[in-house]
Chains A and B, each alone.
Chain A
Amino acid sequence: MEKDSGDVRDVLTNLYSNSTANRYIAATVLALVVVFSYTGYDTLVYRHDVIQNYAEDNEWLVSFETVNDTLQQTVVLQDEESRDLEFDMAGFSVPDDYRIGYIEVQITGEESAGLVSGNQCDSIAGDIVRNELTAQWDDPSNNLSGQDSSCVPIDLRLGVYPDFDGEDRTVQSINEYQALMDWTEEGWGEGFLVLTLELDTNSNTPFIGVDDDEEITIDINVVMFRASVEAIE
Chain B
Amino acid sequence: MAELESMTPVAAIVCILLGCTSLLLLKRSPNRGWIDQMGGMMLGWIILFMGLGYAAKAVREALWETDVDLDFFRYTQHSFGLISIILGASFTFFYPYPIMQKASRIKTAPYFVGVLSLILIVTMLLLDYRYMGAIQILYIPGFIILISVYFRFLTDEINNGDETARRLSFAAGLIIIALHGAEMTWWLAQLISINDEFIGRSAIASGVGDYSRIPTWIGYNVMTTIGAVATLTLAAGETWRAQVKGMSGFTIIIYLILGVGLISGIADYAVLDIVNSCMYTVCNDFPESYNIWYTFTTDALVLLFTPLISMYVLLNFDVVDSGSEENRWLTRIIVILMLLIISSTMIELLQSFLPVSQMISSAILAMVVAIFIGWEERIMQKLIEQGESISKKLSSLKEINEPDLDTTELDFFSKAMASLLVFTVILCFLYSSIT
Select one of A14, A20, A31 contacting B232, CB under 8 A.
Answer: A31
1/0 contact string of B201-233 vs chain A (CB within 8 Å): 001100011001010011011101110110011
Q: Are A42 and B193 in contact (CB under 8 A)?
A: yes
- Which residue of chain A is the closest to B402 with respect to CB atoms? A4
Answer whether residue B21 sits at the interface, using C-beta atoms and an 8 A cutoff: no
Docked-complex contact A15 and B152, CB < 8 angstroms: yes
Cross-chain contact A28 with B225 (CB below 8 angstroms): no
Q: In whole angstroms, how far apart are the Cα atoms of A42 and B192 in the complex?
A: 11
B401 and A4 within 8 A (CB): yes
A32's nearest neighbour on chain B, judged by CB, is B229
Contact B225–A35 (Cβ < 8 Å): yes
Q: Is A210 an interface residue (CB 8 A)?
A: no
Q: Is the CB of A28 within 8 A of B229?
A: yes
Chain A: which residue is nearest B156 at the CB level?
Answer: A18
Q: How far is the CA of A29 from the CA of B218 in the complex (A)?
A: 17
Residues A3 and B195 in contact in the complex (CB < 8 Å), given A11-B99, A35-B229, A54-B208: no
Beta-carbon contacts under 8 Å, B227-276 to A? 228-229, 232-233, 237
Q: Which of A114-122, A170-178, A196-204, A219-227 is found at the contact surface with chain B?
A: A170-178
Quick one: closest A residue to B155, CB to CB?
Answer: A21
**Contact A6–B401 (Cβ < 8 Å):** yes
A76 CB–B CB distance under 8 Å: no
Q: Is B154 an interface residue (CB 8 A)?
A: yes
A52 located at the interface, meaning its Cβ lies under 8 Å from any Cβ of chain B in the complex = yes
User: Across the interface, which residues of B come within 8 angstroms of A4, CB to CB?
Assistant: 101, 398-402
Instruction: Give Cα A54–Cα B148 distance, bound, in whole angstroms.
Output: 42
- Give every chain B residue within 8 A of A175 (Cβ-Cβ): 279-281
B203 and A31 contacting across the interface, CB-CB below 8 Å: no
Interface residues of B in 388-435 (CB under 8 A from A): 397-403
The reply to whether A42 and B151 form a contact with Cβ atoms under 8 Å apart is no
Cα distance, A4 to B403, chains bound together (Å): 10
Q: In whole angstroms, what is the CA distance A15 to B152 when docked?
A: 7
A174 and B204 contact, CB distance less than 8 A: yes
A90 part of interface (Cβ distance < 8 Å): no
Interfacial chain B residues near A48, Cβ < 8 Å: 212, 214, 217
Contact B100 A8 (CB under 8 A): yes
* Closest Cβ–Cβ distance, residue A223 to chain B (whole Å): 28
Assess whether A20 is in contact with B159, with CB atoms less than 8 Å apart: yes
Nearest-Cβ distance from residue B284 to partner chain A, whole angstroms: 11
Report the separation of the CA atoms of residues A56 and B204 in the bound assembly, to the nearest whole angstrom: 10
Is B190 a contact of A54 with CB atoms below 8 Å?
A: no
A24 within 8 A of B: yes
Give which listed residue, B99, B156, B209, B222, contacts A12 with CB less than 8 A.
B99
Q: How far is the CB of B202 from chain A (nearest CB, A)?
A: 10
CB contact list, A1-55 vs B, under 8 A: 3-8, 11-12, 14-18, 20-21, 24-25, 27-29, 31-32, 35-36, 38-40, 42-44, 46-48, 50-52, 54-55
Which chain B positions have C-beta within 8 A of A177? 280-282
Q: Which residues of A sit under 8 angstroms from B154, Cβ to Cβ?
A: 21
Query: In the bound complex, do residue A24 and residue B151 qualify as a contact, i.e. CB atoms below 8 Å apart?
Result: yes
CB of B144 closer than 8 Å to a CB of A: yes
Tell me the complex Cα distance, A28–B221, Å: 16
Q: Which of A28, A42, A47 contacts B233 (CB 8 A)?
A: A28
Supplied contacts A7-B101, A15-B99, 16 more A-B pairs, CB within 8 Å: A4-B398, A4-B401, A6-B102, A15-B148, A15-B399, A18-B156, A20-B155, A25-B144, A28-B151, A31-B233, A35-B190, A35-B228, A39-B225, A47-B200, A56-B208, A178-B282
10 A–B contacts from the bound complex (CB under 8 Å)? A15-B148, A21-B151, A25-B144, A25-B148, A28-B147, A28-B151, A28-B233, A31-B232, A39-B221, A39-B225
Residues of A within 8 A of B (CB): 3-8, 11-12, 14-18, 20-21, 24-25, 27-29, 31-32, 35-36, 38-40, 42-44, 46-48, 50-52, 54-56, 174-175, 177-178, 181
